[in-house]
Amino acid sequence: MGVVTPESGAIDNYLWVGAQNGIAEAIEIVRDVQKAINIDYDFDIFQNKYRPSIEEIEDKAFVNILIDSVVSGSYDSNFSKTHTVTYNVDCYVRGKNEDHGASTLVPADEVAVQRMHYLCAMVEYALTSLVNFDFGIDSGKIAPGKISLQFDPVDNASESATPYAPSRFQFVCDFPYEPQDLEDLPDLKIAFLNFGTWASQYDY
């Protein structure tokens, strides 16, 4: 099975998927500007890695963007609703012992935490700036909530063979959802009309 490319399909993808791509692009912009200043500010950006392995990450830091949940309002219908989407933006920084002077050694976990704090500062700057631009979605179609930051949310982080520091940004956005007008999809409209004719022959 190949990689799905929703852009080539007749049915539009969810707005919140496009917003997730916008989140990744905004973080990438900040990363690239910072990397031009100092290569040590570089980090990798992923989407939808549900089981990231710290030991397999070559660079010292990475960001992983996930959709945690999608729920609809209690008063919504199946034909006009609001999708309330929770995003997680997880940050991981690996650490290694570093020498500071002839007799000073900074432990790996302390190094990881220091770098993680600055990684979070870069990511939050990107997220905050992105809110002002509607996450790359048409203005007025998205209502973002407040951004929260939690440190060390990952289970068993202390049991990893590689010292690292995790953190998680979490925020909620509301997106409108309405099924597409079938006038744009004539083949699908005919198929549903035929289905309706067939279904009307049966009592339920």
69: in domain:
yes
Give the mean pLDDT of 42-46: 92
In terms of pLDDT, which residue wins out, 60 or 29?
A: 29
169: in domain:
yes
When pLDDT is cut at 50, 70 and 90, the band that residue 199 belongs to is very low
Read off the pLDDT of residues 141-196 as tens digits, 9 standing for 90 and up. Answer: 566 678 888 887 444 445 556 667 788 999 888 888 877 666 666 666 666 666 55
36: in domain:
yes
1: in domain:
no
Contacts (Cβ under 8 Å, ≥6 apart) of 22? 130, 135, 136, 137
Q: Please give the pLDDT value at position 28.
A: 94
95: in domain:
yes
Read off the pLDDT of residues 130-148 as tens digits, 9 standing for 90 and up. Answer: 765 556 565 555 666 788 8
204: in domain:
no
Q: Please give the pLDDT value at position 90.
A: 92
- Looking at the structure of the chain, the number of domains it has is 1
- Say whether pLDDT at 200 is over 60: no
CATH number, position 20: 3.30.2000.10
Range of the domain at 192: 6-199
Tell me how far CA of residue 127 lies from CA of 25, 91, 134, 156, in angstroms: 10, 13, 10, 27
